[in-house]
Amino acid sequence: MVVTRESDQPRPAAARTPTWRREVAIAAGSLAFGLIALPFAIYLVGQQVLGEYAADSGALGVAESIWRDFLSLRLPTWILVLSPYLALQLLRAARRVWRPRL
């Protein structure tokens, strides 16, 4: 009796997407999350912890400030916006290191 692993089985054509396309999709999704959802999450957490951001700016004021700094190539803002992608890559690398080898 021959035992084969699931990874040895041929994958269907739909599952054989090129690696670079998957990586571009992951990077684009992470960047979109960092630019769109993260500023609003920062505003909500900051509002709960620190109080109101500014008298009349609100969540859009925080987002606009982050977007402006991102376009001005400010390093801390770039790190903030790219942090979802960097965290995902770190998790993927850790999974590769600690994954059991068959």
Residue 48 domain-assigned (yes or no): yes
User: Taking the mean position of all CA atoms in its chain, how far away is CA 89?
Assistant: 9
Residue linked to tokens 């951001």: 53
* Number of neighbours of residue 32 by Cβ within 10 angstroms: 13
pLDDT attached to residue 51? 81
Q: What is the pTM of this model?
A: 0.71
Residue 51 domain-assigned (yes or no): yes
Taking only the tens of pLDDT, the chain with its 102 residues reads 555 555 556 656 556 668 999 999 999 999 999 999 999 999 999 889 988 766 667 889 889 999 999 999 999 999 999 999 999 999 999 998 988 776
Domain hosting residue 88, numbered range: 21-98
pLDDT attached to residue 1? 56
**Contact 34/89 with Cβ under 8 angstroms?**
no
Q: How many domains does the chain have?
A: 1
The sign one gets for the Cα dihedral 36, 41, 44, 45 is: negative
